[in-house]
Structure 1
């Protein structure tokens, strides 16, 4: 791998005087073993201990030409965006700008069902599809941020392409990017906030994330990762032109290291808000994350301690409580795992979705056995031992 020397040099520049200037050779060997066994072309990892960055490394390729993946390579965060967005919203809660348990009807100038496709940008669903169903008034920021909206993952995935409720808001967990996007809509249409600007100011600038954005920036092109599918096909990096709270963030592993450390410390949040973010908000009762609207398991088969947090998943394990968030599409795989005890975290960004079966091995090599619900997150996928 040509990225090794570059990764060490760049880590020294990015985190001068920190332990991150010296990579953990055991972790490096673990990542290399995962790449060999899965065929993944590029994996980047950051490690946080006691709320401080202690290691940042990147291995493999960032594109088909074989240019090296480095800690400063811009990669697609996918649904890790949701966790960063949830953190930003909790700052608004702290400031009294928004109440987690207040109906979204109280924030919008008009009923949600008045907004049709001719009035809002194409990044939002056509909320007029919900006309005649007043359950939308039951929706609150807490319900939306904990994936209990009752929506499918996205409205356009419905057979008829129309947004609809599959269960009463708040009744149960059902992963929904659509719910996160509606939360963005409430902030923008109801409170007049620019979510992209708020994310930049409250999250990216706060943590020194200089190569992170909710939309494409031309300067990213100089060191940019493409992606690889399960079939090994290369997919060019998507230059996203719209802020989407459910998953438009571009970032680097160096920036994600800073974010994970700051979030572990609770920077920018009151102790109460930090605790609320990771608290078990509602039990998760399905066998796996996807498909999103699968039946609930009988009570005796449900995973104890598995619950939704604000923008994250809460789990109980042998080291006590922790939270994690996955990020996935057809050509990237990411995960962000934190154990509350010791404020310890690992972030993995892979520009190749084939890397995902090796995530448990990488996490285990750093944090030990954590209790992350891998089989719930990835379903029947065979994970590396």
Structure 2
């Protein structure tokens, strides 16, 4: 277990490199980047494989952050709450200058259209805390609905169902309610704070010098998207070196009071669902209660042998990201890949670094997940 013995045995690190290469070969993973954090400090950053057809993946290769964006955004909101500028338990009806279904045309034109909720007053029950814990009642995205219209599937706050739509509403609270620019605040309060020089919420021309394209489940390559709009749910481009700085800062609680940092990983809402995806599928997993699986603020928490662990993933057809952090010892493994097949090797990599974590891989990735297969 690398981080458990790192201080006394630095020679373990090269073995992790060999194991990562072996696992990548086994599952045909094109590119992988890792960062290890111990006691809140970055102790290893590595990159393996390719960023596109022929160029190597490096520590400074820009990769798609996907839903890791949500935790970075949650960290920004916690700073505002710490300063008394945002009440996490206030109704969004009190935080927005206009009713959510009746936004100004410029916001609707920018893709923030909530007119489908007109006539359903349950939107007034939404609070920042409810949205940060994915308990808003929405599908992940409205385009997944049969008619592509947004609707409530349950009373806000009553259960967990992962939803990017809730983070769009939180972005509106920041921009309309507080009059802040999400992109600029993320840059100033998060990226600049942690020295993340090759990270942004929208595309930058300098990213093109070292940029990862993506590989799908069938091995086909897709060009990296150049995102032109800030989206709190997932527009961050970043590098493994920058993510190492971000998560080491988060696990230390830099920029937050101790009370606010504790809110991030508090078990706000028990998670009972059999799987995280599809988000609205029926079913209850009794194993969730055994590990106290719960929603934190932009992360998911659980307990293994009594110890608190939390995690956040990020995924699309060509992206596989995962961060797992143990509160005891402030240890984390950060895994980014431009190849979705990397999710097949993450359980083993996490076990090599953190030991037996109790991580609910099947809840996260489904019943085919490799649950620490081959772990020592």
Taking structure 2 as the reference length, the TM-score comes to 0.94
Alignment of 1:307 with 2:294, yes or no, is yes
Shift of 1:22: 9.2
Alignment of 1:85 with 2:85, yes or no, is no
Shift of 1:380: 2.1
Q: How many Å separate the matches in 2 of 1:198 and 1:303?
A: 39
Q: How many Å separate the matches in 1 of 2:181 and 2:290?
A: 38
Structure 2 partner of 1:148: 135
Structure 2 partner of 1:207: 194
Structure 1, unaligned stretches of length 5 or more?
A: 1-20
Q: How many Å separate the matches in 2 of 1:125 and 1:159?
A: 19
Q: Is this contact kept in 1: 2:274–2:285, CA < 8 A?
A: no
- 1:1-385 correspondence runs (5 A): 24-64=13-53, 66-115=54-103, 118-297=105-284, 302-318=289-305, 320-383=307-370, 385=373
Runs of 4+, deviation exceeding 4 Å:
298-303
- Residue 81 to residue 188, structure 1, CA distance change in 2 (3 Å): same
Q: How many Å separate the matches in 1 of 2:40 and 2:293?
A: 24
Q: Is this contact kept in 1: 2:291–2:304, CA < 8 A?
A: no
Taking structure 1 as the reference length, the TM-score comes to 0.91
Shift of 1:381: 2.5
Secondary structure of 2:345 counterpart: helix
Secondary structure of 1:26 counterpart: helix
Shift of 1:130: 0.5
Q: How many Å separate the matches in 2 of 1:285 and 1:345?
A: 25
Q: How many Å separate the matches in 1 of 2:286 and 2:211?
A: 46
Map Cα deviations across residues 55-88 of structure 1 (whole Å, 9 max, x no partner): 0000000001x11101010000101111111111
Q: How many Å separate the matches in 1 of 2:33 and 2:286?
A: 38
Shift of 1:300: 7.5
Q: Is this contact kept in 1: 2:137–2:153, CA < 8 A?
A: yes
Secondary structure of 1:310 counterpart: coil
Q: Is this contact kept in 2: 1:287–1:302, CA < 8 A?
A: no
Structure 2, unaligned stretches of length 5 or more?
A: 1-9
Secondary structure of 2:75 counterpart: helix
Structure 2 partner of 1:15: none
Shift of 1:318: 3.0
Q: How many Å separate the matches in 2 of 1:207 and 1:166?
A: 38
Q: Is this contact kept in 1: 2:319–2:338, CA < 8 A?
A: yes
Q: How many residues are paired up?
A: 365
- Residue 275 to residue 89, structure 1, CA distance change in 2 (3 Å): same
- Residue 94 to residue 353, structure 1, CA distance change in 2 (3 Å): same
